[in-house]
Chains A and B, each alone.
Chain A
Amino acid sequence: MILLNGQPSELSPGESVARVLARLDLARDARGVAVAVDGEIVPRAHWESFTLPADARVEVLTAMQGG
């Protein structure tokens, strides 16, 4: 089971990060968005090529008011 932002998801191993973002209605060039998988950053240059491993923990973060 792949976790997306701490919740069980329907994401499958082998899906690219770009595909995950598309499912979330986020554009490929979306500013203020960042992705980590299993505690490592997936830089936006790798969003197309990086594919999710089994049981991945995916974090999709966005800009929020703060500080």
Chain B
Amino acid sequence: MIRLQMRSAPSTSKASHSAESPVASQRTGEQADRLVIAGRELHSRLLLGTGGFSSLELMAAAIAASGSELVTVALRRLPVGGSGSGGGAEGSPAALIELLADAGVLLLPNTAGCHTARDAVLTAKLARDAFQTDWIKLEVIGDEDTLLPDAPELLRAAEELVADGFTVLPYTTDDPVLARRLQDVGCAAVMPLGSPIGSGMGIRNPYNLALIREAVHVPVVLDAGIGTASDAALAMELGCDAVMAASAIARAQDPVRMARAMRAAVEAGRLAHGAGRIPRRHYASASTPQEGRAEFFD
């Protein structure tokens, strides 16, 4: 009884876990369960987008709360002269780079906004020169309203970039066949959508995601469509190796709290996936033994 009251007493083991996640504070068999992309080991299975935050300070706080080690960044025209000057809430480019360096995260440049393989390949090369990394989140958009990928252009760009030595992580549809084709041309991971970018509609076709997980051996990173924590947990339960969250965190009313929620959800989903859920069944299955029931009346 006295011991119960001592739960909050400081202990060395608790101190050593203080930097760890809220969920997996007692790691046992999962210790070796690390995400590896292109030979790079990552402790966090949550990737973070840096777009949409109202300030750099908020972005930094969300990155810290998320525990993410891999964050996306984009390339855009430097505002020059007259009308185009001023980055508004986005802050200066130098400040962004400095802040991300301070956060100690790896950068994953994207090719957001590219509509052709040609544009995407050039943007990837520019990103490599700008950020000194050959990792690229390849996006080739085929439709302005849905921002869905243009599959033939995506595959072409992926092939070209792999040949040029890039580590390619393509944003793709939830099509298992396309995912396999992207793997076959040498992509380091595939990033299928759950639903359109920024839509917050979650995972519209969980069966396809499960099929993609079976179809490829490279990591599967759910990208786009996440609305809240349960979407991220579902993705992980379906076997995804990681989740990328951008708008869901940046545009939440409290981005830092949502970053913590996503972190916990990704870990919970991963644990549940490994733990093996019970099968679904139509009828009840008593969890208290039937044997030994009292018989009070005739």
Contacts and interface: CB of A to CB of B under 8 A. Distances in A.
B74 A65 contact: yes
Contact of A66 (B74, B77, B94, B131): B74
Given A4-B80, A65-B59, A32 B74 contact: no
Given A32-B131, A33-B130, A60-B80, A65 B53 contact: yes
Interface in B51-84: 51-53, 59, 72-82, 84
Interface of B: 49-53, 59, 72-82, 84, 90-91, 93-94, 96-97, 101, 108, 110, 112, 122, 125-127, 129-132, 137, 139, 246
A43 interface: yes
B137 A67 contact: yes
Given A32-B96, A34-B129, A41-B125, A59 B80 contact: no
Given A31-B97, A32-B130, A34-B126, 6 more contacts: A61-B75, A61-B77, A61-B78, A63-B74, A66-B51, A67-B137
25 contacts: A5-B78, A7-B81, A7-B84, A9-B80, A26-B78, A31-B130, A32-B96, A33-B93, A34-B126, A41-B125, A41-B126, A61-B130, A63-B131, A64-B73, A64-B76, A64-B90, A64-B93, A65-B50, A65-B74, A66-B73, A67-B50, A67-B72, A67-B110, A67-B137, A67-B139
Contacts of B79: 5
Interface string A8-37: 010000000000000010100011111110
A36 B93 contact: no
Interface residues of A, number: 28
B93 A24 contact: no
Given A7-B82, A65-B53, A67-B137, A31 B127 contact: no
B91 to A, nearest CB: 8
A34 B130 contact: yes
A59 B52 CA distance: 24
A36 B108 CA distance: 20
